[in-house]
Structure 1
Amino acid sequence: MIGLAFRSLRKRAGAFVASFLSMFLGATILMAFASMLDTANGDNVTGTAKSTLTTMASVVGGWGLLLVVFAVTSTLTLSVRQRAAEMALLKSIGATPAQLGRMIVGEAAGLAVVAALLAIAPAVLAGRALLGLLHDTHQVPGEVSYSFGPIAVAMGLGITFVSATLAALLTARRATRVRVTESLMAASTGTAKPSRKRLVFAGLFLLLALDEAIVTCTLMRDKGSDAMATSGQADILAAIGLALLSPLIMRRVTGLLAGPLRMLGATGDLAVTNMRRRTGAMAAAVTPIILFTATAVGTLFLQATENAATRAAGVAKTADQKGIETLNLVVIGMVVLFTAIMLVNTLVAATAHRRREFGQTRLAGATPRQVLGTVALESVILTVTGVACGTVAAVFTIVPFGIARKDSPTPDGSVWTYLAVVALAAVLTGATAYGATRRALRTPAVNAVMP
């Protein structure tokens, strides 16, 4: 089955692009921040500079690791779900669950090694840029030189490989435990229900987010900017929890909007039918929107509240406060870039897989314009749902921090900041879905339905 895994990678490279890019970008982020530890261990790096470099590597790199593992798991799950018919065929000719599991893990492991090795060069460039940012903000002396060494390479290769392998094991376990008839049904309908473990983990992440919010409101009250240490991570925990619940959320949203959408005619009816059949794919697509909105809104408004509190106190920003602000901006940049690419990857992979579906719809009488209209409606629903869930997750950060920092649950910051985040999420979702659908529609309908 390992040989089959590598042949599958060669023959079906396009199907693994989303997973590969998630691993590649994840390894780049991990190694870039891990190189701060190599730099901190350099000659004549002591005191505040060493502490700043270590904090940058551990805090941002740690959250980057969590996002990378989650992204890799999501893309691998989508890839395996799209191959449900292939898995069912292998089972029907005698493949055992253990053999299928080895094939899935072998594919992921091979991708992880290649992605991590190719990520070394961009990680060096990203690490240099990060140190340059620290030099420009005077948090690290200019004489501290950049170092990319064994810590960065070991963490990049090791964590990418381990996270991809663990994600593949989790994905393979569910895929291989389903019977042949259930696999065929999942391939044709795409309505597999979330597992009990997924629901348990969703509840765990939401409880952790609630715990961080409560700690911020109580124990961290009147602690100044130190409250960022607990409130800053609550939005990511809540976003992951809601993302894990996304299949249930999308099913509920589809049920609520079915009536109004059908009033739009054939396009709306197609959208409802497709969303009901593709709950899993819709859930995978809404996940990066939730992560992007939650982290961007939460961090931007948290920093705005901190800046307002500092101005109200009439004191100048200290070096530590400037360092925290830079750290927050780096977090935003990292999350925006990573989730944007994750969103594009997921939508492109999901839409490309629908070429046969689009062909069948056109042969049944739908025009290309109606197909594009259907995808546009789906994109609007994805954006609204993802932004709403992401905003709820951001509340776990900005409201407790406002209470702790200035005794008010109302965050500081401009409404235009929020609208800019929403607009970016909408543009990324709409433009990617439209472009991928137009490309899929270039294939003649008859050719698209052929195996």
Structure 2
Amino acid sequence: MATTARAFQPTLLMIAWHSLRRRAGAFVASFLAMFLGATILMAFASMLDTASAGDATGEARNTLVTMATVVGGWGLLLVVFAVTSTLTLSVRQRGAEMALLKSVGATPGQLGRMIVGEAAGVAVVAALLAVPPAMLVGRGLLGLLHGTGQVPDGVGYAFGPVAPVMGLGITFASATAAALITARRATRVRVTESLAAAETDTVRMSRKRMVGAGLALALGLNLAVVTATVMRGKGSDAMATAGQADICAALGLALLAPVIIRWATGLLAVPLRALGVTGELAISNLRRRTARMASIVTPITLFTGIGVGTLYLQHTENAAMDAAGLAKTAEQKSIETLNFVVIGMIVLFTAIMLVNTLVAATADRRREFGQQRLAGATPAQVLGTVALESAVLTVVGVACGTVASLFTILPFAIARTGSAAPDGGPGTYLAVVALAAVLTGATAYGAARKAIRPAAVDAVAAS
């Protein structure tokens, strides 16, 4: 038996290489998440290298360390979440392949090593390639601090040893850990259950995921309460707790995305059916593909929740400063810079993550689209179905993100002004929502058009 297992190992390596070539879209999604994550991590970690180089002292050193720990710390959390999400999507797209390997004798341990080995290899390559852009982004961050007067122009940029060690180490560790979790979930299911799950993709949420969502939401609520009570009347210090509340809430709601999608689909079933064939197909796909649809809702939730929350937090802070007739101190300028850097980082990272995930998820539906066309659906109806799905996912993601943003906006407004009404007007919110909708709709439509280009018979036969 042991001899058979060892003999089967080279075959698994060949299958892994074939899968990498055949499902390049899914692996590219994971690679980009790791590459961008490593770039962000190393860019902010290089502020620690710069602070330790010797030229930065006093307030300048504190600013660099704060930039690295606060922004880099939350960036780390988002990166790990993104890597886990894309790796999970990649493995789920290979559910039938995993089931067939089990049926011909592959052990759970062999499949697990194959999945982890693929993820580890992609992580190392992604982190190494991220070094040059991380250095450029790091220099840009230092230039921003020079331009705002928070760090003297004489403080030079330094990269290493902290930045590359953190970038390589954390990217590799997060990818390996995510692959282990995903592999364990994929390999412990029986063959028949694996085939059914691969076909429907309606895997029930695990208890650990539910607990994680509950903890994240509880932490966000706790931070919101602390902001509105303990931090009330303490000026801009309330930003320290308020700014973290919407991140925790957004992560918690993102973890609950499969449940929320099922609930929203049931709620919208009647109006969607009124749209005819496209509506029926959209309802069917949303119900059968909740796990993959949830991977698309996640970046929309993070994008909306953290973007809206941080922007309105800064609007309220600026209005409070103006009302008091106070000039911004160096520390307050540093905080404002941090907030806008957070927004910029989140907007860029989650936008790319959204596009990345949508392209990978849609490209893998060629066979599904081909089957729908063979069953009588026209290309226009298939595209219309994708458009409706995108609309529903955008509504769900924006709604979850809006709820998450309130964990920051309302408590901070109470703490800073005594009123729950934030400053900034509706324009900021509408701009964030419009950008989320455009990114989701345009990407899904473009990826779907590309997926239906082959003839329906060829698409089904090739998958």
- 1:366 has 2:366 as partner: no
Cα shift at 1:13: 3.1
1:409 maps to: 420
Query: What letter corresponds to residue 386 of structure 1 in structure 2?
Result: G
Distance, in Å, in 2 between the alignment partners of 1:88 and 1:378 is 28
Query: What letter corresponds to residue 58 of structure 1 in structure 2?
Result: T
Distance, in Å, in 1 between the alignment partners of 2:33 and 2:163 is 18
1:232 maps to: 243
Cα shift at 1:94: 1.3
CA contact (8 A) 2:25 2:363 kept: no
CA contact (8 A) 2:26 2:361 kept: no
Paired residues for 1:392-431 under 5 Å: 392-431=403-442
Residue 358 to residue 12, structure 1, CA distance change in 2 (3 Å): closer
2:210 maps to: 199
Distance, in Å, in 2 between the alignment partners of 1:431 and 1:61 is 30
1:351 maps to: 362
**Matching residue within 10, 13, 25 for 1:3:** 13
Cα shift at 1:42: 1.4
- 1:381 has 2:400 as partner: no
Q: How many residues align?
A: 451
1:86 maps to: 97
Cα shift at 1:101: 1.1
SS at match of 2:155: coil
Cα shift at 1:99: 1.3
RMSD: 1.1
**Matching residue within 5, 29, 44 for 1:33:** 44
Query: What letter corresponds to residue 243 of structure 1 in structure 2?
Result: A
TM-score (norm 1): 0.98
2:284 maps to: 273
Paired residues for 1:87-106 under 5 Å: 87-106=98-117
Distance, in Å, in 2 between the alignment partners of 1:148 and 1:314 is 40
Cα shift at 1:276: 1.1
CA contact (8 A) 1:297 1:418 kept: yes
Distance, in Å, in 1 between the alignment partners of 2:76 and 2:84 is 12
Distance, in Å, in 1 between the alignment partners of 2:449 and 2:24 is 21
Cα shift at 1:15: 2.7
2:337 maps to: 326
Distance, in Å, in 1 between the alignment partners of 2:26 and 2:82 is 16
**Matching residue within 311, 318, 329 for 1:300:** 311
Distance, in Å, in 2 between the alignment partners of 1:234 and 1:111 is 33
Paired residues for 1:37-76 under 5 Å: 37-76=48-87
- 1:212 has 2:223 as partner: yes
Paired residues for 1:129-208 under 5 Å: 129-208=140-219
2:6 maps to: none
Cα shift at 1:193: 1.0
CA contact (8 A) 1:267 1:371 kept: yes
Cα shift at 1:170: 1.1
Query: What letter corresponds to residue 102 of structure 1 in structure 2?
Result: R
CA contact (8 A) 2:55 2:154 kept: no
Distance, in Å, in 2 between the alignment partners of 1:408 and 1:289 is 29
Cα shift at 1:288: 0.2
CA contact (8 A) 2:124 2:172 kept: yes
CA contact (8 A) 1:6 1:106 kept: no
Query: What letter corresponds to residue 189 of structure 1 in structure 2?
Result: T
CA contact (8 A) 1:30 1:65 kept: yes
Distance, in Å, in 1 between the alignment partners of 2:25 and 2:280 is 31
SS at match of 1:199: helix
2:265 maps to: 254
TM-score (norm 2): 0.96
Cα shift at 1:8: 4.1
Distance, in Å, in 1 between the alignment partners of 2:309 and 2:55 is 37
Distance, in Å, in 2 between the alignment partners of 1:7 and 1:47 is 55
CA contact (8 A) 2:312 2:409 kept: yes
Distance, in Å, in 2 between the alignment partners of 1:159 and 1:208 is 24
Paired residues for 1:276-291 under 5 Å: 276-291=287-302
CA shift digits 1:145-182 (9 cap, x unpaired): 11111110000000000011111111111111111111
Distance, in Å, in 2 between the alignment partners of 1:11 and 1:251 is 31
CA shift digits 1:337-361 (9 cap, x unpaired): 0000100011001100100010111
Query: What letter corresponds to residue 294 of structure 2 in structure 1?
Result: A
Residue 443 to residue 125, structure 1, CA distance change in 2 (3 Å): same
Distance, in Å, in 2 between the alignment partners of 1:33 and 1:269 is 47
2:4 maps to: none
CA contact (8 A) 2:55 2:156 kept: no
CA contact (8 A) 1:238 1:393 kept: yes
CA contact (8 A) 2:111 2:187 kept: yes
Distance, in Å, in 2 between the alignment partners of 1:36 and 1:422 is 32
Cα shift at 1:249: 0.4
Distance, in Å, in 2 between the alignment partners of 1:333 and 1:209 is 22
Query: What letter corresponds to residue 191 of structure 1 in structure 2?
Result: T
